[in-house]
Every structure is written in structure tokens, then in C-alpha cells.
Structure 1
Amino acid sequence: MLLGNQYFGAREPWIPEHGYLLGVAAQRFEELENDLAVRSICSQAIQTIPAAMRRRGMLCFISTVRGRLTHVARSIVYYPAESGKDKLDIWNLTPLPAPVLVSAIKKKLKGKQAWRARRALDGGHISSSAFKLVMDALQDVDEAAFRVADGLIDRRPPPPDATPTSARTNWAYQRDAVVTCLEIARIPKEQLEIAPQLGEDASVGLTSIFDNDEDVTTIEDLAILQDLDVADEGWQFVKRQRYPARLFTNGDTRLTVILANKQSLETQLGVDLIYVNETLKAVVFVQYKMFTGVDGEGGYRPNEQLSKEIARMDTLAETLATIKSDETCEGYRFGADPFFLKFCSKLLTHEDKGHVPGIYVPLSYWKRLAKSPAVKGKRKGTIVYANTFGRRHFTPTHFIDMVGRGWIGTTGLQTDVIVPYLKAAIEGKKGVVLAVQSSVVSEIEDEEPPRRSPTLRKPRYPGKKAKVIQI
């Protein structure tokens, strides 16, 4: 198995619901292996699979020799490729002890869905019903190959959930913020080798989810402020990674995630997410809030801390309102509010890999809701539950799609005033997650040809004043 071919940071159950037979040429297979060695994951464009099967574990059988299975791997489809096909993300690539004849597997297929399995073994998606038949036939044909394929399936139950604490709550918030950034940038979230929950054996001095990550570069927080003081267009201060940062890549997209001004997780009150889509020049701000109770049944009561946070956002909003309107197509947004609140209902369990369950609402909508009778409790206090919002909220899927396509956030003309706010946020006492998405630019760019200086025409009559014509 290649080094870097395994990118799960902790044991997590992985049970595929369907499969895929991928045939690749030897040269292309070598490129996939190189990608795995460097990035722990590789991608291949494939024919589209049923939409309902996306985001579900898929055991991938790979054939580098016509008519024979040579490798097996874990895989999943998250997003379609730019070509209109689907993008198959592959990891845990493992060679079979010996190539297995596809024709031999076809002969061993049994059951009503055998015809479907035979057709799938010609190449492409293997449905849920056919997948079990293929695995049973593989076991009959080659027990050793079956053990390798079955070894990628992890059916062990997850460890019990830890008792919620302030540290574990903020661990989940930080991880959720980074996962959100990865999904907006269309980078597989499995590249984040961070467990869903803070383990019982975690060191006392942990200050962020990146503390144990060897790929993170660190420097004193003062260097961040010095760097921000420099007028530097294009968010170059983020790309240089001179401070706690982690770089994720996928194709031509780079995502730099920074956990700035880290404090003890026990004393943090939450995580602010700042997402900068450099390609579309849109900036979005998210404030996390937690419903109380095991499943959020206790609701959320606005407090003085929220009022202070809203006041800081209002200060920036007033500045943004003074910027002239962006009339370009790229600068169009659904609304002028780049601020959102995410109300979370519970922490992740150990087997979860995605987002902390919750809902997003724009800050401007929250202000209206907070004044309405819908938020008044039995004792005339203000309290909200998940059902208080009804259908008037965005799910993580909705939010990620709108940010990724540039439908919400600041306009391009407003980004010039964002740096002072970022400096103020980093100077605060809360952990701030800042992510900048940009396209990969070649290190060697074509130099712009030198412009020819215009040559001034010599006067025909030196010393004579030019005739002035007044209109």
C-alpha cells in the first residue's frame, strides 16, 4: 500500500452500499498512484451515477489489464466533474494478490439480479442489489482477493460518545467550520484528518483541531497582525501561510484554512467562520450558536454576548453600505447581507464525518425574527427552537451551494474594506477560522511586454505659444 494512501485520521466505520468497476490504462493508473502518494486521494472522471448514490461509500474494483481485476479501493462521488461527468474520489488503493478474471466472476453470479451484475462487470456503476452478488461471486472465485476487498469494509461499531464539555463543543465547531470550507471549495472533506470528536486521551494543552497536524506551519500571532498591516492586494497574506494554516488542494483549486489567535478550547465561546471565495470575490461571515439539550430541545436564548457580536457585525455592515453598488454580473448577490448565524442542534457522534446538525439564517432575518411574537417564551422571555424558523432557513447544503456559486456574500467592490475587520477579529479572544479559496496559478507567468513610451512630437515653431480654442 502506498504511503499517504490512507487519509482517515481515526478509525471510522466504512460500509459501502454499492460498487464501481473502473477500467484504466497503465499510464493513467500510474498518474493516479502518484496523486495518492502526494495527496492521499486521487480523482477520475466517470460516467454519471444515480444522484441518490452520491455521497455514499462505494467499493471500487479497478482493472488495469483488460478482462481482469487488479486492484480494489475505497471511493465515493461527491460532485459532478466540469466535463459533465461525475468525479470519482479514490483512496486506500490496494492491489489484489493476483489478477482475477471478470469472466470467472460472471459465471459464479446467482440470483434474480445476476443479469444486472453481469452488465455492471462490463464497466461502470454496480447497484446496491448487484454489489452483494459480485462480492459473493468473488469469494467463490478467489478467496484471497475477496479477503483484500472485504478488508476495506469496516463494520465495527463506533466508540461510545464522550460526555459533552466546552472543549469538545468548540472542537466540533472548529471542525464544522473547516468541513464547510472544504465543501464550498468542492474538496473532499475526508482530506481533513481530524476526528469528529475530541478524544478522551487528548492532551490538556490543545488549543485547536490543527495542533497535532504536522502539515501546519505556526508562528506567533503578532506576525499575523504585522502581515495584515501591509497593504497587500489579492489576499496574498493568506497564501504565504506564515502562520497557523493548512493547505488543501483538489484539481485547480487551493483552499487555505487558518485558525488564528488560538486560545484554550475550555475558554472559547464559539467559532467565527470567515470564508473568502477569491475567485468570485465574495466574503461570508458565520456566527455559531448552540441549542441546549441533547438534541436541541432546550432551544437557544439570546444573551449579551450575541448582542456584542451583532454590534461588531453591524459596524462592518455600515462600512459596506457606503461602498458603491457593483453593477457587474460577477458582483450580483441575492441580498446585501453577508452575515449568517448557524444554530446547531447537537454535537457530532464518533461515526459522523460531515457537519454539526444545524440551520443557517441571515443576520438581517434574525433581527426581524427576534422582534416577532414567535420568539416569546412562556415567561415572556426570548427563546428560539429549530421549529421556530419553520422552513425559513438554509440547510448546510443550501448554504454551501450559494457561497460556492457566489450568490451570497460581499460584492467584489466591498472586499477592499474587509482587511480591517479581519485584523479586529484576529485581535479578539475568540478562535477565528479564515479560509481563502483560489484557483491554482502557475509559478511562471508570462511577462508583460514592456510598453513603449509615447514620443512627444517636436513643435514646428519653437518658442511660439500654441493657439488656444475656447468652446
Structure 2
Amino acid sequence: MSSPGDQYLEARFPWVPEHGYVLSVTSERLEELEDDISAQGTCSQAVPKIPAAMRRRWMLCFISVKKGYLTHVARSVVYYPAESGRDKLDIWNVTQFAKPVRVATLKAKIEGRQAWRAKQALDGGHVSPAAFVLIMDALRRVDGGAAEGLIDRRPAPLDPTPTQAKANWAYQRDAVVTSLEIARIPKEQFKASPQLDENAPAALTSIFDGDDDVTSMEDLVILQDLDEANEDWKFVKRQRYPAKLFTNGDTKLTIILANKLPLERQLGVDLIYVNETLKSVVFVQYKMFAGVDGEGGYRPDGQLNEEITRMDAAAAKLATVAADESCDGYRFGPDPFFLKFCSKLLSHDATGHVPGIYVPLGYWKRLVQTPVVKGKKGGTIVYSETFGRRHFTPTHFIDMVGRGWIGTSALQTDVLAPYLRAALQGDKGLVLAVQSSNAAHPDGADEDEESFEPPRRIVAPPKPRYPGKKPKTIQI
């Protein structure tokens, strides 16, 4: 097994598969599955039905993209039937063998009373528990390195102690990662740890603290793309908030972190994404599901009502702007405000997003008026399943923002500067990201880019639904 990116060895929770599956797919199909994993953390493949007793039990999935060889291995489980009448195999943590394992060689090493069943299973399909044990024994004899780490019996660590500071750190980081992906800038340029260090100084106010490359906002070179901006944008330029410039080819992204209070006293993190190229602005409000893995749901409170009131005030101002009849100003809908519901902390060290879903503010207002959000005692509570399929995944959201299909119209964007100024003067931490053309780097070369180093593990995670699954990242 290749050690770089070996998610099995980095998993923080016990993972002991009881049976297996041998899946033969084309290399093109495997790429599609890996794209889904990058976007959502898991992917699904319809397969013939497995024994009902084996559902919901961890399964090791051997993948073959080359006839006669096992080329990849992944974690998997079957929870539900597929719409086609078959079973839906959920897959995550796809890892390529350092050297493909020859099936014929593996069959020659299989011994025992169930050897015939194990050899038959290697041709494709479900692997019974007895056959799985024989296949794993044979794999250890054929290639001990390939078998290493596929079964993890380490005890689970203690649950973390979530704090408001840790949650806000995760949301600030998620907002920056989202902005980078919308602008199609490699996330490796951003190296903040996914979790707040337990020993972080009390004066820490943002994920950019301690970054030598961060420049204060009075440096106009950082915001040279705003030189021709109006007075409202010039106000933004004069603020002494930490700002960092990211570039990729002819695109540059200026990210401004505005934090008026220490993390412990912040209420949350907002993302305001300004796409100057397509003249659109999108607002995202972060909210968390309660519980170890979000199973406690989210109960709307007075804070959300206050935030919605501020959004409504901005929306009322936008509504007074004339309709934009240009092609560049076309949007799917008039609502530029979104809520992202996510878990409190990342489940493990990751380079991607805090797991979550996006819904437009307008849809949220309709949803809370329906009986589906009423709890047992009559209160309002929502879970991830409450939204069903009526939500956007990170992939959907980032793609729509990056292509200008959602957000404010071009004419509305011109009147948003006063509102953004008021937001920067407020008492809430937020992230403002400004994307524009970077004429100074037409070839996109980045000669000084440092090699990416995985972030240091800091705190123990909550127990995830898919132990050790590959971190969520987005590819556009």
C-alpha cells in the first residue's frame, strides 16, 4: 500500500470489516467515483444484491480496473437498495495499491475449506465473511505491504471538547477553502490547520494570525484590482484587517478576515464572496447541527432571526435596483443569501470542507412554516434528512457561484458596497473574498510555491458515520 495519502493508516476510529466485495470497473468510471468522493466524501455504485444480513456491516471493497489484477482498495458498506432494484454500495477512502495484486497469484495462496468460495468471489461480487478471512490471509502472504492497514482495531480516542472558538476556527477555514475553490485556486496555497490548537494564545483572532504573508488592508498593492472602485470600496481598502492574496494564472483572490472580537466571543463566521469578473455577490451564513455527528439537529434561535433580519434589509435594498436584462446579469433566482448547515468540527485532519449542505434563505423561510420541522414537543428542529434532496452539495454550490449562476445581478452588485461597509463595521467575524483578473501573471506560473505539508493533528474528532473516510474536497 502506498503510504502517501493512505487514509487507512490515518483513520482515527476502529474499522474492522466483516466481509468484502470485488468490484470491476473501467478506469473512466473509477475517476467518476473518485470525483464524487472528492466532492462529498463518499460515492455510490449500484451492485447486485448482497445478503440482507450483511447490510450495514463494514465491507472491504477490492477494485479492479485492469483485468486479472486488483488495483485499488476502499472502504464500503451497503445501507439501502438502489433505485434500480439492486443494492447501493457506498464507497470511500479509495486507495491505490503500490503494485497491482495479480488475482491468479492470490488464488494460488488461498487455502481452507472455503477456498473454492473465496476463489470464486475474486472473479467479482460479494465476498462472504468466511471467504473474506481466507482472501486477507492470502493477501498477507502475497504482499504484506498491501494488506497493512486495511483493518484498524485501534480504540477510538476520547471525544473532543467543542468550544465556540474551535467551531469559529473551522468555519473561518471552511470559508477560505470555499473561496479558493470557487476561484479555482489550489487549496495547497492555504495551509491553516483544520482545527484550533489547544495551546493557541488567547489573543488569536483569525486563521491568518501568525502568517507572515498576510498584509494589512492599508497596503493598496494587495487590492490593486480595486484602484478604480467607488468611495464605498475605498473604505474597505482603508480598513486594517488581515488580507491575503492568492493567485492562479490570470485569477487572483484577495481574502479579508474581519474579526472584531476574540474567537471565544464570536457568534459565527459569514462568507461574502464577491466575484468581480462576473459581477455577483453571494452571502453564506454558517449554522451547526448539534450532537457528535450532527444527529442532534439544529434549533433556530433568536440569533438566526437577527441575522435573517439583516439579510432581509439588504434584500430590500437590492429589490429597488432595476432589473438586469443583460446575459451577464442573468441568475437562476434573485436570492443571493444561503445557509450552510454543518457539523461543529471536522471529523479528522482534512484539507477540505467542514461537512455540510447549502440551502437558499428563501427556501429556508418556506421550510420552517411546514409541519416537517416540528419536533415532538412542538418546537422547530431540522436535521440533515429534513432537507431530503432539496439542498446543494458543496460541489453544486461552488460550481454555481464560480459560473455566476447564483448571487446578485451585475446591477445589484454595484449598490452592495454600502452594505458590505456596514458589515465590516459590525461586531461579527466574517470573511470577504474578492476575485478579479490578475493581468500581472498571464501564464499562471507560481515558482515560489512551497510543497504542501499535511496539517498537524490537534484534537480528537467526533465519531463519524463513515470512520476514516477520505477528507472532503471539491473539484470543479
User: TM class, shorter-chain normalised?
Assistant: 0.5 to 0.7
State the alpha-carbon separation in 1 of the partners of residues 99 and 238 from structure 2: 49
Shift of 1:350: 3.5
State the alpha-carbon separation in 2 of the partners of residues 317 and 335 from structure 1: 13
Shift of 1:51: 3.6
Aligned match of 2:243: 245
Contact 1:113 1:129 in 2 (8 A): no
Q: Does 1:271 pair with 2:269?
A: yes
Contact 1:175 1:194 in 2 (8 A): yes
Contact 1:346 1:357 in 2 (8 A): no
Deviates more, 1:313-322 or 1:234-243: 234-243
Q: Does 1:391 pair with 2:389?
A: yes
Aligned match of 1:132: 99
Contact 1:246 1:258 in 2 (8 A): yes
Stretches of structure 1 that go unaligned for 5 or more consecutive residues are 1-11, 18-46, 58-110, 116-126, 135-149, 221-227, 445-471
Contact 1:13 1:351 in 2 (8 A): no
Contact 2:249 2:441 in 1 (8 A): no
State the alpha-carbon separation in 2 of the partners of residues 204 and 306 from structure 1: 27
Deviates more, 1:243-252 or 1:47-56: 47-56
SS in 2 for 1:213: coil
What are the superposed Cα offsets for residues 191-243 of structure 1, whole Å, 9 maximum, x if unpaired? 211011011221121111111111111369xxxxxxx9x96289577689964
Aligned amino acid, residue 193 of structure 1: K
Shift of 1:385: 1.0
Match of 1:50 among 31, 39, 54: 31
Q: How does 1:26-425 map to 2 (within 5 A)?
A: 50-54=31-35, 113=69, 131-133=98-100, 162-218=160-216, 232=230, 243-425=241-423
State the alpha-carbon separation in 2 of the partners of residues 432 and 13 from structure 1: 35
Aligned amino acid, residue 14 of structure 1: G
Structure 1 residues 114 and 270: alpha-carbon distance in aligned structure 2, compared to 1, 3 A threshold:
closer
Shift of 1:374: 1.0
Shift of 1:187: 1.1
State the alpha-carbon separation in 2 of the partners of residues 382 and 56 from structure 1: 32
State the alpha-carbon separation in 2 of the partners of residues 276 and 195 from structure 1: 25
Which structure would you say has the larger Rg?
A: 1
State the alpha-carbon separation in 2 of the partners of residues 190 and 239 from structure 1: 26
Q: How large is the RMSD of aligned CA atoms in angstroms? A: 4.1
State the alpha-carbon separation in 2 of the partners of residues 241 and 56 from structure 1: 40
Contact 1:283 1:410 in 2 (8 A): yes
Query: TM (normalized to structure 1)?
Result: 0.60
Deviates more, 1:48-57 or 1:342-351: 48-57
Shift of 1:261: 3.6
Shift of 1:344: 0.8
Aligned match of 1:15: 6
Q: Tell me the matched-pair count.
A: 323
SS in 1 for 2:215: coil
State the alpha-carbon separation in 2 of the partners of residues 53 and 390 from structure 1: 23
What are the superposed Cα offsets for residues 152-176 of structure 1, whole Å, 9 maximum, x if unpaired? xx99999977421111010001000
Aligned amino acid, residue 200 of structure 2: A
State the alpha-carbon separation in 2 of the partners of residues 276 and 326 from structure 1: 18
State the alpha-carbon separation in 1 of the partners of residues 359 and 376 from structure 2: 24
Contact 1:333 1:408 in 2 (8 A): yes
Query: TM (normalized to structure 2)?
Result: 0.60
Structure 1 residues 344 and 130: alpha-carbon distance in aligned structure 2, compared to 1, 3 A threshold:
closer
Shift of 1:351: 2.1
Contact 2:217 2:243 in 1 (8 A): no
Shift of 1:423: 1.1
Aligned match of 2:436: 438
Deviates more, 1:169-178 or 1:242-251: 242-251
What are the superposed Cα offsets for residues 54-110 of structure 1, whole Å, 9 maximum, x if unpaired? 5989xxxxxxxxxxxxxxxxxxxxxxxxxxxxxxxxxxxxxxxxxxxxxxxxxxxxx
Aligned amino acid, residue 275 of structure 2: N
Aligned amino acid, residue 195 of structure 1: S
What are the superposed Cα offsets for residues 11-64 of structure 1, whole Å, 9 maximum, x if unpaired? x973399xxxxxxxxxxxxxxxxxxxxxxxxxxxxx99934445989xxxxxxx
Structure 1 residues 114 and 385: alpha-carbon distance in aligned structure 2, compared to 1, 3 A threshold:
closer
SS in 2 for 1:286: strand
State the alpha-carbon separation in 2 of the partners of residues 441 and 233 from structure 1: 24
Aligned amino acid, residue 50 of structure 1: E
State the alpha-carbon separation in 1 of the partners of residues 256 and 182 from structure 2: 16
State the alpha-carbon separation in 2 of the partners of residues 114 and 297 from structure 1: 37
Structure 1 residues 236 and 297: alpha-carbon distance in aligned structure 2, compared to 1, 3 A threshold:
same
Structure 1 residues 186 and 48: alpha-carbon distance in aligned structure 2, compared to 1, 3 A threshold:
farther
Contact 1:162 1:200 in 2 (8 A): no
Shift of 1:298: 1.1
State the alpha-carbon separation in 2 of the partners of residues 375 and 51 from structure 1: 35
Contact 1:344 1:356 in 2 (8 A): yes
SS in 1 for 2:297: coil
Contact 1:217 1:241 in 2 (8 A): no
Deviates more, 1:258-267 or 1:405-414: 258-267
Contact 2:290 2:298 in 1 (8 A): yes
State the alpha-carbon separation in 1 of the partners of residues 188 and 157 from structure 2: 19
Structure 1 residues 388 and 56: alpha-carbon distance in aligned structure 2, compared to 1, 3 A threshold:
closer
